[in-house]
Structure 1
Amino acid sequence: DLISRQIAPFSKNRVTHITSLSGVAAILSAIMNNVGALALMLPVALKSSAKQKRSPSILLMPMAFASILGGMITMIGTPPNIIISTFRETQYIDLKARALEDVFSPAAKYFESQNIDIEQFQPEPFAMLDFSPVGGSIALMGVLFVALIGWRFIPKNSYKKPGTESLFSISEYITEIRIPEKCKFIGMEIGEIEHFTEDRLTIFGYITVDENVLTPWLDHIIQEGDRFQIKADPVELKVMMDEYDLRLTKLMRERIDSLKNTNTAFKEVLIKPGSPLENRDREYLRQRTSNTLILMAVARQGEPIRKLLGDVTFRVGDVLLLQGDIDKLEDNISSLDLLPLAERNVTVGVFSKVGLALLIFGSAIALSMFGILPITLAFVGAILMYIFTGILPIRELYQQIDWPIIVLLGAMIPVSNALQSTGTTQLIADGMVAMTGSLPSWFMLALIMIITMTLSDVINNAATALIMAPIAVEIAITMGVSIDPLLMCVAVGASCAFLTPIGHQCNALILGPGGYRFSDYWRMGLPLELLIVILGTPLILYFWPL
C-alpha cells in the first residue's frame, strides 16, 4: 500500500508509470532476492493498471526485466553474484597453493603477470558492492531501455484487457459446468454459444462419461446432463450461471456445499516459484488444506488446458480461483506460498514490526559491507534475530528456504569441480583462446558474456554460473590476464535471461497475469541482451582492467 501511494502520481502517464514501477523493482532487487522483489511489486502493478484502465501487459514485462537487472547491483541480489563471489576466493586459494607448490606452473606465471606477491597475497571473495559499478550502470541503462523503448516491442495483440470488476481478473479462467434441466443452452449447437453469450463464454471441451475431455463438434446439440469445460471471466460466469441457468459439475458442487455452513470468500492467487503447489494437482491442494480450500477455476497463459481440473498439474505462473472459509483463507494462501491477486486486509500487528525487520536487515548489510562480519555470518545472525523477535515464526523457517536451488547447487558444484579436475575447462579455454587469438581482448569478454547469456536462457542461472566460472578462470590464466573481469562477465551474463519465460523465475511469474505468449519475451529481451553486451563489455574493462 505504501509503494502504491508513492507510485500513484506517476501512473497517469504511461512512460512514467512503467519507469516508476521498473525503477522501484530494480532498487528492491538490489537488497533482496529479485523474485521476491517482483512478487512484492506484482500486486502494486496490477492494482495501478486497473485504476488507470491500462493493460498490465505493458507494465509487467518491463518490471520483471528490471527486477532481474536490479539483482546485478549487489552481491545478494541474485544467486550468480553470490556464486561468483565465493568462487573467486576459492579459485585464488587454489591458484596460490599451486603456485607455491610449483614456481614454474601456469598459476605461478599468472601471479607474476599480475605483479602479485604470492607470499603476501590473501585471497578474498568479491565484496558486497564490488558488483555495483558495473551492475548499477547496466541496471540503470536497462531500466531506461525497457521504460522508454522496450515495452513498445510487445505485440499489441498480446495486450491484456485492463481489469474490470474483478480487480486483477484473468479473462480466460477454465472451469467445468453441467447442463441442468431448465438450462437455456439446451437444443442449441455448441458453435452458437459464443455468439449467444456475447463472447462471454466459450465451450472448448466435452467431458465424457469416462471422464475424458474431447474437443467438441461445433454442430453438437447441447442436451440435459452434458458436461463441458469452458472459458469465462469469473465475474461474468457468476452472472451467466443465473442468466442461463448453468450449474457447476457435481464434484465441485459437493465440495462447495461442504463449506455451506461457513462464511466463504473467493480469492485469485498466482503460483510463485517454490510454492508447494508447483507440479502438484487439485487433490494435493485438498489434502494440504484439509478440504477447506476449493479450486474453482484455473487460468494458464500460452496453451489450452484440455484436462479435467482434477487432472491439471499446476505450473509457476498459473492463476487459480479459490473459494474457502474466510477465516482460514489467508492462512492457507500463506502456507502454500501463493501470491494473492487482490487487495488484502492487513492487520496493524504486522506493520508494527516492519521497522524492526528493516533495521535488522540493514544492520546485516552494513556489517558485511564494512567487513566487520563475513556476509554469511551477518545474514545468519539476521535470521536468528527475526526468529527471536517473532518476525519469522520458526515453523516457517524451512518453508522460506529455496530447497530446489540448494539441491541444484549441491548437484552442480561437483560437476563444476569435475570440469576442472578432468582438464575439460583447460581444453575449452585453449580452444577459445586459439579461436580468438588474433582478435582484441575485449572480444573474449563479449564472447564469454554471450555464451553465458545463451546458457542462462535455457538452464538455471546459478547452474550457468557454476559451469562458466571455471572456464572463464582458465581462459584468464591462459591469456595471462586478471580473472576478475572475466568472472564479472559470467556474473552479468548469468543474470541476463530475457529470451524465454523459462529462462528466469521472474519471467515465469508474469506469464499468466501479463497474458504473454512464449514468443513475446525475445522481442524485448533480445535487444536488451544486445544492449547489455555492448555497454557491459567496456564497463567491465573500465572498472576491472585486464
Structure 2
Amino acid sequence: MVAICSLAACVLTGLVPSSDAFVGFSHPAVVTVACVLVLSRGLQTSGAVDALSRAVLPARAGVLLSMSTLCALGAVLSGFMNNVGAMALLMPVAVQLAGRLNLTPGQLLMPLAFSTILGGMTTMIGTPPNLIVSSFRDQTGTGSFAMFDFLPVGLAVAAAGVSFITLIGWRLVPARKQSGVKGFESEAYITEARVLENSNVAGISLRDIDKMIDEIDAQIIGMVHNDVRMMAPSAWRKVRAGDILVIEAEAKSLAVTLSTLGLELEEAIEQEKADQNKANDAVENQENAPNNDVDEPLDKSKEQDQTKTSDHNVLMELAVLPGSPLLGRSATDIMLRTRYGMNLLAVSRYGKPSLSRLRSRPFRSGDLLLMQGSPEAIAEFASDNNCVPLAKRELRIPSKRKAWEAGIIMTLAVGAAAFGLLPAAISFALGVLASMVLRTVPPRSVYNAIDWPVIVLLGALIPVAGAMESSGTADLMARFLLNNMAQGNAVLGLTLILVVSMFLSDLMNNTATAAVMCPIAIATAAALGVSTDPFLMAVAIGASCAFLTPIGHQNNTLILGPGGFGFGDYWKLGIPLELLVIAISLPTLLWVWPL
C-alpha cells in the first residue's frame, strides 16, 4: 500500500509520466527476483536442501560445532537461493537441534536468521537489494554488476559475522520460551513405505535401520514380506527390495524418515499403478472402439490429469468422530481412492498398532487420518463421513531424481548469468521453464512460489526511485549529507551511506531501502567526484543488514513467534553485529572498490 501510494503520488504530481507508471514491473530485476523464488521452491520441494542438511550437519556434535555448521549452511544456501526460503527450510532443523543441545529454540533461530541474512549478500541473486543495486549501476552506463562481484566484500562480512555469532553472539540471545498457540500435536502416525531397488536400506538389517533413524524420533514397528505382515520382526532380519516397512513417526518426521532411508510411500506407489492401469485401459478401449468414434480421440494427458492430481494436492489431518459412517470400515471397504481420488498415508491411534495392513485397517472413533488429496476431495470426504479437519500438514516427499534436476537447473542458471552467456533475467527465466518442464516445480505451483508483495513493492518503487533522481531530490539529499555531515570527505560520505542504509533497513523493507538509497549513493559519489561502485556496494551491504527489529527482514519476522521473542530482543545481538559489519565492510570496500 505504501509503495503504490508513493507511485500514485509521483504520477499525480507529474514526477512520473502516467505512461511510465508501471514500467517497473517489466524491469529485469523484478523478473529475476520472481524467477529466483521459483527456482528456490524447486530446491525446497524436491528434497535437495533436506538431503544436503542431513549430509552436512553432525549428528552428535556439541553446541559450537552444531551451531557453526547450521549457520554456515544457512549462509551458503542463502547465497544461491532466496534467504527467506533457506531460513524456512532450516527452521525445523534448528528447533530439533535446540532440543538435543538443551537450548531454547530462539537461541538457535536468531543466529540462523542472521546468518542467512549475511549469506544473501555474497551473490547478485542472494537477496533482492543486490539485484536492485546491480540494475542502478547499469543505469549509470558502466554496466550491471556480475554475479560474483558482491563476493569479496560479502564473503568477508558474512564470514566475520557468522564467526562472531557462533563463537560469542548466540550467548547474547535472550533464552525465551516458545510463545503463542502451538500447532496441533498428534500421537505418532503409523504408515507404510516400500523398499526400492536403489533404497539406502536394501540389504541391511532392521537393527542398522533403527540406528539410522534414531535421531529422527521414528521407529520400525513391523514389515510386510511377500504379502505376509510381521509384527516386531527380528532386529537381525535383512530388508530386501520390495519389502514394506511399517513406520511409526510424527507427521513432521515422515519426510525426513523417507528421505534418509530412500523409501517411497506405499500408497503413492499404489496410486501410480492405478493411474497407469486406467490410462492403459483407456488406450486399449480407444484402440478397440468403432471407427465412428475417431472424431473424439483419447487425450491421454487429460485422463492422467483426471486420475492424478498431485500437483495441487494437500495433506490434511482428519479426526474420525463418534457416529461416523467409517467406523468398522477400512479404506478398501469405502473405495477411498476410486470414490474420492484420495490416499490414506497414515493413521494415528492412541492404542496398540493393528496387525492389519493400512488400507484394510478398520477405522475407530478418535482415529487421526493423514489424508492426501485435493482440498475439494478432502472437504467432500470429511462432510460425507462425519470427520473434522484438524491441521494442514507440510510433507515434502523426497525424490533423488528431482533433487538432482533442481540442483542442476539452479547451477546452470547461475553459471549462464555468472559467465555472461545470458542476461540474468533470461537465464533464470529459462531455468523456471526447465523446472516446469521437468516438474521440479509443478506448473500449478509456480505462481504460489513467488512472493508477490516483494514483486509489487519492486515494481512500484522503481519509478519512484527514478523520480528521486530525475527531480533532483537525490542530489539535494546527497548534498545535505556532504555539506552538513561528511563535509566533503569521501570516506566519511561512504560511511554515512552505509549507516543510513542500515538504519532504514531496520525500519522498512530492505528492497525499498535499496531502491531509495541507490540514487542518493550515485548522486553523492558524483558530487565528490569519485567512483560510484563503493557507494552502491555500501547500499547493498547496509540494506541487507537488518538486525535490530523483527520488521526489518522477513527472516526476523519468521522467528518472532517460534523463538518467543519480543520487539526489543533483537538489538542485543543486532547492535554488536551491525558494528562488526561496519568495521569489516568499510576497509574491505575501500580495498576491493577503491574510490
Distance in 2, Cα, partners of 1:70 & 1:374: 23
2:467 is aligned with 1:418? yes
Residue pair 2:98, 2:107 contacting (<8 A) in 1 also: no
Q: Retained in 2: the 8 A contact 1:445–1:489?
A: yes
1:90 aligns to 2:139 (yes or no): yes
The answer to whether residue 347 in structure 2 is matched with residue 327 in structure 1 is: no
Report SS of the residue matched to 2:104: coil
Instruction: Tell me what 1:77 maps to.
Output: 126
The answer on whether the counterparts of 2:180 and 2:561 sit within 8 Å (CA) in structure 1 is: no
Give the Cα separation in 2 of the matches to 1:260 and 1:29: 48
| Higher RCO (C-alpha 8 Å, min separation 6) | 2
| Separation in 2, partners of 1:442, 1:80 | 22
Shift of 1:342: 12
Q: Structure 2 vs 1, CA of residues 329 and 14 (structure 1 numbering), >3 Å: closer, same or farther?
A: farther
| Cα drift, residue 505 of structure 1 | 0.2
Question: Which structure 2 residues correspond to residues 405-484 of structure 1 after superposition, within 5 A?
Answer: 405-436=454-485, 438=487, 440-484=489-533
Counterpart of 1:151 in structure 2 is 170
State how far apart, in whole Å, the 2-side matches of 1:470 and 1:258 are: 66
Are 2:191 and 1:142 aligned? Answer: no
Q: Deviations over 1:459-496 (max 9, x none)?
A: 11111101000001001110000000000000100001
What is the Cα deviation at residue 438 of structure 1?
4.4
- Decide whether aligned partners of structure 1 residues 343 and 324 sit closer, same or farther in structure 2, where only a CA change above 3 A counts: closer
After superposition, give the CA deviation of every residue in 1:407-432 in whole Å (9 maximum; x if it has no partner).
11122112111211221111111111
> Could you list the per-position Cα deviations for residues 149-202 of structure 1 after superposition, in whole angstroms to 9, with x for gaps in the alignment?
11111224x255xxxxxxxxx775499xxxxxxxxxxxxxxxxxxxxxxxxxxx
2:370 partner letter: I
SS in structure 2 of the partner of residue 519 of structure 1: helix
Tell me, in whole angstroms, the C-alpha distance in 2 between the residues paired with 1:446 and 1:73. Answer: 20
C-alpha separation in 1, matches of 2:326 and 2:431:
40
Q: Is the 8 A contact 1:80 1:495 kept in 2?
A: yes
Return the alpha-carbon distance in structure 2 between the equivalents of residues 435 and 43 of structure 1: 49
The change in CA–CA distance for 1:437 and 1:38 in structure 2 (over 3 A counts) is closer
Q: 1:45 offset after TM fit, Å?
A: 1.1
Determine the C-alpha separation between the residues in 2 that align with 1:330 and 1:46.
30
**Matched AA of 2:583:** I
Q: Equivalent residues in 2 for 1:122-201 (5 A)? A: 123-156=142-175, 158-160=176-178, 172-173=181-182
**What runs of 5+ residues in structure 2 fail to find an aligned partner?**
1-49, 185-317, 328-366, 377-390
Counterpart selection for 1:66 from 115, 124, 140: 115
In the alignment, the residues of structure 1 paired with residue 180 and residue 497 of structure 2 have an alpha-carbon distance, to the nearest angstrom, of: 42
Distance in 1 (CA, whole Å) between partners of 2:422 and 2:435 is: 18
Q: Helix, strand or coil for the counterpart of 1:328?
A: strand
Aligned to 1:507: 556
The 3-state SS of whatever aligns with 1:128 is coil
Contact 1:64 1:506 in 2 (8 A): yes
- Give TM-score scaled by structure 2 length: 0.57
The equivalent of 2:423 in structure 1 is: 374
Alignment match, 2:594:
545
Letter in 2 for 1:6: A
- Work out the CA distance in 2 between the residues paired with 1:262 and 1:482: 73
The residue that corresponds to 2:81 in the other structure is: 32
Contact 1:357–1:386 at 8 Å: present in 2 too? yes
Q: CA deviation at 1:256?
A: 7.7
Q: Secondary structure at the match of 2:121?
A: coil
Query: 1:259·1:325 contact (CA, 8 Å) conserved in 2?
Result: no
Structure-2 separation of matches of 1:75 and 1:2: 25
Contact 2:538 2:589 in 1 (8 A): yes
Supply the distance in 2 between the matched residues of 1:433 and 1:8 (Cα, whole angstroms): 48
The 1:545–1:258 alpha-carbon spacing in structure 2 relative to 1, beyond 3 Å, is: farther
1:520 and 2:539 equivalent?
no
The match for 2:534 is 485
Q: What is the rounded CA distance, in whole Å, between the counterparts of 2:326 and 2:169 in structure 1?
A: 48
Task: Please give the alpha-carbon distance, in whole angstroms, between the structure 1 residues aligned to 2:101 and 2:174.
Answer: 20
CA distance in 1, matches of 2:74, 2:539: 23
Name the SS of the counterpart of 2:512 in structure 1: helix
SS, match of residue 9 in structure 1? coil
1:259 to 1:428, Cα distance in 2 relative to 1, 3 A:
farther
Give the gaps of 5 or more residues in structure 1.
93-122, 161-169, 176-253, 264-322, 333-340
Alignment of 1:17-56 (within 5 A): 17-56=66-105
Instruction: Quote how far apart the aligned CAs of 1:6 are.
Output: 3.4
Question: Counterpart in 1 of 2:192?
Answer: none
Distance in 1 of aligned mates of 2:524 and 2:371: 59
Q: Which amino acid aligns with 2:149?
A: D
The alignment-based identity, stated in percent, is: 43
How far 1:10 sits from its partner (Å)?
6.4
CA contact (8 A) 2:319 2:369 kept: no
Separation (CA, whole Å) in 1 of partners of 2:500 and 2:171: 27
- The number of aligned residues is 362
Give the aligned residue type for 1:525: G
Is residue 4–residue 48 contact of structure 1 (8 Å, CA) maintained in 2? no
- Is contact 1:262-1:325 (8 Å) kept? no
- RMSD of the TM alignment (CA)? 3.0
TM-score under structure 1 length normalisation: 0.62
Asked if the contact 2:111–2:165 (Cα under 8 Å) also holds between the matched residues in 1, the reply is: yes
CA distance 1:79–1:344, change in 2 (3 Å)? closer
Matched residue, 1:494 = 543
Q: Which residue of 1 aligns with 2:240?
A: none
